[in-house]
Amino acid sequence: MTSRTASKRAKTAGGNPAGGKPTARRRPRGRRGPMRASLWPKVAIAVVVLVALAGLYLVYRSATHTASGTSGTSGGSAGSGYPYAVGQPGAGVKAPEFALASTAGGHLDLASLDGQNVLLYFQEGLSCQPCWDQLTDLEKHAADLKAAGIDTVVSITSDPVDLLTQKVHDMGLSTPVLSDPDLAVSKSYHANEYGMMGTSRDGHTFILVRHGTIAWRADYGGAPKYTMFVPTAGVLTDLRNATAGGASTGATP
């Protein structure tokens, strides 16, 4: 056999000089380095999101624990439908005195309202538009408040009085809003313990003061719903239920 013939047979055998099976061609593997590197930012973002969610959960648990420590038992189903806690000082306790700068000018002190039934409304302030919608709704239902025996409504929050005065003017409100910048009065009523801002601002608390004594209280702004608006009809329903010997501590959703 000539060398040329042997070469042809080798080619006929699939290019394998030994005459065996043709060798399979391997495809070059793609480079995975860049792909793996591109996944790291996504993994990092996912970790940050999980950590943030865990933090929010802990805040929620903490707020729930704080509110549950001072809330009363649930009321009947005939209430407003808005859950609320009942903090301290509560019904039967002398209302802490105060004298604060007012949007109506000068200072307003509780002693000057002696002999009146005063509804104190502690609210979050300028950062909470629903809180101001609450004031609008209260003024719209002034006749209903009067019929319920409420002579005066006074709102208290922690923003500067000049900014509060501008807000009251812009919204055309007549209710006096008092400035409690260091939360001294709010803390004496523990009204800053029922809101989504921790203890740095008030929540959404109504306290009825009759002749200097607290007659009724409802802290709507705490966990789990952090309510920042309750229709006036609902507030009056909860007030009537509590003072009539019905649901004396809190409404159920």
66-84 pLDDT per residue, tens? 333 344 433 333 488 999 9
79-130 pLDDT per residue, tens? 889 999 999 999 999 999 999 999 999 999 999 999 899 999 999 999 999 9
Q: What percent of the chain has pLDDT over 70?
A: 67
To the nearest 10°, report the CA torsion of 156, 161, 165, 171.
Answer: -40
3-class DSSP assignment, residue 70:
coil
d(CA 253, CA 55): 27
Name the average pLDDT for the chain.
Answer: 80
**pLDDT band, residue 11 (cuts 50/70/90):** very low
d(CA 186, CA 130): 19
Residue 251 has pLDDT above 50, yes or no: no
User: For residues 84 and 220, is the Cβ–Cβ distance under 8 A?
Assistant: yes
Q: Which CATH number applies to 65-243?
A: 3.40.30.10
More confident residue, 131 or 65: 131
43-61 pLDDT per residue, tens? 667 776 676 665 554 444 4
Q: What percent of the chain has pLDDT over 90?
A: 60
pTM: 0.69
188-215 pLDDT per residue, tens? 999 999 988 889 999 999 999 999 999 9
User: For residues 148 and 239, is the Cβ–Cβ distance under 8 A?
Assistant: yes
- The torsion region of residue 110 among left (phi > 0), alpha (psi -120 to 50) and beta comes to alpha
d(CA 215, CA 8): 112
Q: What is the pLDDT of residue 53?
A: 64
